[in-house]
Amino acid sequence: MSKAIVSSLYDSDVFRMACRQFDKAADAINLPDAIRDRTKYPKRCLAVALPIKRADGSVTVFEGYRVQHNLSTGPSKGGIRFHQNVTIGEVAALAMWMSWKCSLVGLPYGGAKGGVIVDPNQLTPTELESLSRRYMQEMVNFVGPHTDVPAPDVGTNEKIMGWMMDTYSNHVGHVEPAVVTGKPIALGGSQGRKEATGAGVAYLAKKYLEDLRIPVAEATAVVQGFGNVGSESALALAGYGMKVIAISDYTGGIYNPKGIDLPKAQTYVQYQRVLRDFDGGEPISNADLLELNCTVLVPAALERVITDQNAGRLKCRVLAEGANGPTTNAADKIIEERGDIEVIPDVLCNSGGVIVSYFEWLQNLSSFYWDRDEVMRKLFGILDKAKDSVEYQKRKFKFSRRLAALTLGIQRVADAKECRGLFP
Ligand code: NAD
């Protein structure tokens, strides 16, 4: 009987939530004790102090992390989050989910994640650049095209990835675009990467509506979070003919039963940075928004927003998890018992981002670039295959869709570890 001897380093609500998901999946597939703990726990992490000079001449030290959960199946892969509530436990949970996600969709990657405790909205553009470059400078010996490949997440974007790629390249003495993905096209970014996560969310939501025989043109959608994933999901859902009736960001939401003017909202956010005071509908709180009557609900902000407090009151038909970990274990149980909501679990639903990140990395390593049609065709092909494998697993073992997705992802990582032995 193996038993991990672990510290409380990662202990947090969100890490415990990811561990409970893992335990449930490991039990469901009878994962042997000998392989369990080394599949479950992160392989290694780095915590760094990041001093930067402020606009007023003072110096502030920020704290940053990178957690590499699994290095057995290829370089690790995962975004970098800039947010005031980042903890190493949250980063570890996100790294764990990246492992199952990459494995589920068949990418030759392990999972990783990074984070810095900072509210990027409080930094000047110059301070943001200094912090981004400083973070990569501290990570130079920990990441790399064949070790660990970061990407954008909450609070980071393609501009930041460009600064990080430049910092790494300057350090190694040659241009190394494959060290991060989600870069500007001018620096080797992929066509379609910016919209990939949202495009994947919307594509899968449409596919599940078709399975349910719900006409897409009669469907309504509600999207929480209007950053990269939320805004691109909303636009792509609308592109399929759905009416997006509510959107939100951390300043609150907008509800319009006639449909939100999304390009107008996007332009507004481009200039105002937030949705606050956008006049495209009635104001609505984030809590009320999640309980709106709609066909498709897309949480696309932070984790743990669907809880045992609101799960019983959701009024959607499809819950498309654009965010990572938006549904707590307790909420998951309530939704399962209700049986009237189709959940597209995060590891499947938002995998479009890492799939096109993989394409970007391939293009960088081969210096051969694809057009957008090719990127999108290949993305939807991988999503179709992953969806089919999840549905097959779900039917075969009478699992929930989340359990089906997690067991597939976890099994493949465990198999690779079994083949390789104890070291990786
Ligand atoms: P982002 O920073 O571009 O956008 C985040 C959005 O969420 C912003 O509109 C912000 O205002 C909003 N938000 C923050 N706190 C909120 C709150 N308490 N209530 C409501 N809205 C809030 O980040 P993103 O890249 O779009 O990531 C969103 C989610 O999608 C995260 O869970 C992330 O891990 C996940 N994800 C991102 C990608 C990617 O490619 N960027 C890929 C897969 C999954």
Catalytic residue among 113, 194, 206, 417: 113
* Residue that terminates a domain, selected from 160, 191, 222: 191
CA-nearest residue for atom 13, ligand 1, is 250
The domain of 167 spans 13-191
Q: How far apart are CA 75 and CA 39, in angstroms?
A: 16
93 in the same domain as 219: no
pLDDT digits (tens, 9 = 90+) for 86-107: 999 999 999 999 999 999 999 9
Residue 367 forms part of a structural domain: no
Residue 280 forms part of a structural domain: yes
Residue 401 forms part of a structural domain: no
107 in the same domain as 127: yes
What DSSP element (H or E) covers 346?
helix 346-349
Is residue 2 pLDDT above 70, yes or no?
Answer: no
178 in the same domain as 199: no
Q: How far apart are CA 155 and CA 157, in angstroms?
A: 7
pLDDT digits (tens, 9 = 90+) for 137-181: 999 999 999 999 999 999 999 999 999 999 999 999 999 999 999
Residue 243 forms part of a structural domain: yes
Residues whose CB is less than 8 angstroms from the CB of residue 102 and which lie 6 or more positions away in sequence, other chains included: 73, 74, 77, 109, 110, 111, 354, 409
* Residue that terminates a domain, selected from 191, 222, 253: 191
Stretch 346-356: mean pLDDT: 98
CATH number of the structural domain spanning residue 124:
3.40.50.10860
Residue 36 forms part of a structural domain: yes
What percentage of the chain carries pLDDT values higher than 90?
97
Is residue 248 pLDDT above 60, yes or no?
Answer: yes
Q: Structural domain tally of the chain? A: 2
Q: What is the largest CA-CA distance in the chain?
A: 63
258 in the same domain as 201: yes
- So what's the pLDDT on residue 269? 97
Query: What's the 121 CA to ligand 1 centre distance in angstroms?
Result: 14
Stretch 16-36: mean pLDDT: 96
Residue 211 forms part of a structural domain: yes
Residues with CB under 6 A from ligand 1: 152-155, 197, 224-230, 248-250, 286, 300-302, 322-324, 350, 353
187 in the same domain as 75: yes
Give the DSSP per-residue string, 233-300: HHHHHHHTT-EEEEEEETTEEEE-TT---HHHHHHHHHHHSS-TT--SSEEE-HHHHHTSB-SEEEE-
199 in the same domain as 124: no
220 in the same domain as 267: yes
Residue 239 forms part of a structural domain: yes
Q: Verify whether residue 417 is a known catalytic residue.
A: no
Query: What's the 153 CA to ligand 1 centre distance in angstroms?
Result: 7
Residue 402 forms part of a structural domain: no
* Residue that terminates a domain, selected from 289, 324, 344: 344
325 in the same domain as 238: yes
CATH number of the structural domain spanning residue 310:
3.40.50.720
Confidence of residue 422 (pLDDT cuts 50, 70, 90): confident
Query: What's the 249 CA to ligand 1 centre distance in angstroms?
Result: 9
Round the average pLDDT of the chain to a whole number and report it.
97
Stretch 369-381: mean pLDDT: 98
185 in the same domain as 199: no
- So what's the pLDDT on residue 265? 98
Quote the Cα angle for 273-274-278, to 5°. Answer: 120
Residues whose CB is less than 8 angstroms from the CB of residue 419 and which lie 6 or more positions away in sequence, other chains included: none
- So what's the pLDDT on residue 91? 98
Probe residue for ligand 1, chosen from 83, 107, 161, 197 as the CB with the greatest number of ligand atoms within 8 Å: 197
Is residue 315 pLDDT above 90, yes or no?
Answer: yes
Confidence of residue 4 (pLDDT cuts 50, 70, 90): confident
- So what's the pLDDT on residue 159? 98
Q: Is 190 helix (H, G, I), strand (E, B) or coil?
A: coil
Is residue 1 pLDDT above 60, yes or no?
Answer: no
209 in the same domain as 331: yes
218 in the same domain as 275: yes
pLDDT digits (tens, 9 = 90+) for 212-227: 999 999 999 999 999 9
CA-nearest residue for atom 18, ligand 1, is 250
- So what's the pLDDT on residue 229? 98
272 in the same domain as 181: no
- So what's the pLDDT on residue 7? 84
